[in-house]
Structure 1
């Protein structure tokens, strides 16, 4: 009689995992993704505590998040190449261990430089797990299930961000900010051990060719050896550069919001850390979930009626989000701010799904991995890696409210105006891509 192999059985690279092993591995990878976003977002909720103890300027506070995101953006691509060559479960285990230890060590720091270094190492660890995780999920499940599993894995982004903002303020108020790093860092070591013990799936286990790797590449992107050759072709696709600009602007706003909204609530509305954590996690989490789901549905519906459907939703999202964000940040009554800001977040996140889909509409499959990798690299370096520091510098000279009101609406407006160009070019670029497929 055949007996089921326990889901944690350790095997070498190239095994064909059972359904139970695949599901166990997926749950571990989902937990890792949640912890990833908990660890990266939790520091924003304790900025007032860090500023009071270390005497930090807003620019230095912003630099703590910018350092992590800068290192994250720079390391994503080379670590993605490693994921294409190495044993992926071991890569994930190593990266999770690095960022978990770096997070926990943040609680032992005694000055800005020490804390800055721990956050930089956090970026190294977190940059390596995503490409390997996505590739593993692609090989654990057949193609007809893969989209659903990748979507479920991606929900960990929102769950982790909301939990990080929520946990940080409450723990810091109750036990001090150092305990925040201890509590959110150590669980990662358990998940690192568990993922190390799972079965490494064979690459392309459910299909011939490169479909599995392409699927992972579409979700994360990587730049390969043909980068300069592909880059020359990308220069001839105007809609792609519209999307790159949209990536930069959306990442800029996302980085600014996740970094500074809790501090904004403390300073502008006199909220405690726990109150600011409750509001920011609820507003950003709920608004992002609704906006992402609604934007994806609306974009797909319009795309069936017109070739510019997805670009139209993206354009409207940015142009509507600009005045709503300015209006929300201008009110000094907390209930009004929350109401309008939730709507603004919904508008902003409506573009997340359509932007990704447009890349697939206009870029041929052989170029998509590099196209996505380049867009994400520029989005991180010029967007969410830059915005925390820029907002902090402006805030030191004015106020956090003025800095947010100046940068956020302006960036959204610029994104919307750029996307208006995309409305004119996307149809032609889609036709060109289809023509290339049928050559």
Structure 2
């Protein structure tokens, strides 16, 4: 069967300068999203001490956000496409920022859980709607790079959330850590709709009035199903590490809350850089051979598993930190390739919902259960031993990607034929 290059994506006609402004502001809100989400991890030790929480309870405060994102991302993304992406993104940002402010005012585990529940609702569809907006105003040749770079904003936001949150918690108390994240999000959300206008970024409706492709196209080939699952399994590892690295540094390296947060932030920053590099490498090597994306994803998974498994079995020290850092560089490297594969394997008209489905699986299989299950394991066998077991999920991800590779060319060919037939109608 013939090899395929990346398929075309309809692009909204805006200037390159305005496209980069859209990227910058949408990227900024994504940073706020993850600052509000991950600041909790920096104050785990303080909450554990003040409220006498178990590791499983701490993990649930992190996992509930990802769970709500997973459950609501698809329906809210569909609503956003109908109501308007700019208005929807603004409302989401205001909701998660106000909910983060509620976290600062919480006086018990139950109140904090309820506030984090609302944070999850606010953040539910931001990733899928935001990336759909960004991709729509850029050339299709930047698909994997944009997907990797945009989602790396999550890592950068995690870095800032844990680092700044740790510093604020150490000097002003954990409540100010949440309040600082909330204020940043509210300010940026108020600026966003002033600069980005809905009419300028809304795709024109085709004059032909052709019927939109069925949403069954989200699931009607094995390669796209495998991509959803494999991406979620790999992000199980990423989510577990992001949630528990601050506590790992606190318990095994005797660092205070501020220094543990800063150290963890460095690891997450390394992971964000890896997302950008891995996505860019994917675009460079796979421009004319789209199936190479899967091979690269498999390599990322296997190397990540090896490096992290070795790292968490070493004694505390510089060598251990180097291995963990190398593993963190690759832990989310599949984000760019997976996003590009989903775009190749679904019709362009339903890419927004396709990215929402990818986000759903990322959260239900990875981001939501990862911190919670790791916390449960830590209660039983210790945090270091629990983190040493987590990379096994990377092996599972590699196996699923390998299955997708067996069907990929045939499935891409089927999507191309269906698109051509729709155009010919």
Q: TM-score when scaled to structure 2?
A: 0.85
Give 2:58's match in structure 1, choosing from 61, 69, 85: 61
Which ranges of structure 1 fall in alignment gaps of 5 or more residues?
Answer: 1-15, 211-223
Aligned residues: 404
1:253 aligns with 2:250: no
1:357 aligns with 2:344: no
* Equivalence for 2:258: 274
* Equivalence for 1:244: 228
CA 1:316/1:152 → structure 2, altered by over 3 Å: closer, same or farther? closer
Cα drift, residue 368 of structure 1: 4.2
The answer to whether the Cα contact below 8 Å between 1:322 and 1:412 also exists between their aligned partners in 2 is yes
Give 2:32's match in structure 1, choosing from 31, 35, 47: 35
CA 1:372/1:183 → structure 2, altered by over 3 Å: closer, same or farther? closer
Task: Give the SS at the match of 2:230.
Answer: helix
Give 1:435's match in structure 2, choosing from 407, 417, 423: 417
Which ranges of structure 2 fall in alignment gaps of 5 or more residues?
Answer: 1-12
Encode CA deviations 1:79-118: one digit per residue, 9 max, x unaligned: 2122122244433332222211111121221110000011
The whole-number CA distance in structure 1 between the counterparts of 2:391 and 2:262 is 24
* Equivalence for 1:105: 102
**Pairing 1:359-374 to 2, within 5 Å after superposition:** 359-366=342-349, 368-374=351-357
1:395 aligns with 2:378: yes
Cα drift, residue 242 of structure 1: 2.1
CA 1:305/1:135 → structure 2, altered by over 3 Å: closer, same or farther? closer
CA 1:332/1:304 → structure 2, altered by over 3 Å: closer, same or farther? same
Encode CA deviations 1:12-35: one digit per residue, 9 max, x unaligned: xxxx99998877665443332221
CA 1:434/1:127 → structure 2, altered by over 3 Å: closer, same or farther? same
* Equivalence for 2:183: 186
* Equivalence for 2:359: 376
The answer to whether the Cα contact below 8 Å between 1:240 and 1:362 also exists between their aligned partners in 2 is yes
**Pairing 1:272-421 to 2, within 5 Å after superposition:** 272-289=256-273, 291-303=274-286, 308-366=291-349, 368-406=351-389, 408-421=390-403
Encode CA deviations 1:267-298: one digit per residue, 9 max, x unaligned: 12222222211221112212331x22332343
* Equivalence for 1:219: none
Encode CA deviations 1:178-233: one digit per residue, 9 max, x unaligned: 110111112222222222434523266576649xxxxxxxxxxxxx9944x436xx
Q: What RMSD in Å do the two structures reach over aligned CA positions?
A: 3.1
Task: Give the SS at the match of 1:330.
Answer: coil
Cα drift, residue 256 of structure 1: 0.6
Cα drift, residue 50 of structure 1: 0.5
Structure showing greater relative contact order (alpha-carbon pairs closer than 8 Å, 6 or more residues apart)? 2
CA 1:57/1:153 → structure 2, altered by over 3 Å: closer, same or farther? same
Give 2:121's match in structure 1, choosing from 113, 120, 124: 124
The answer to whether the Cα contact below 8 Å between 2:45 and 2:247 also exists between their aligned partners in 1 is yes
The whole-number CA distance in structure 2 between the counterparts of 1:43 and 1:143 is 37
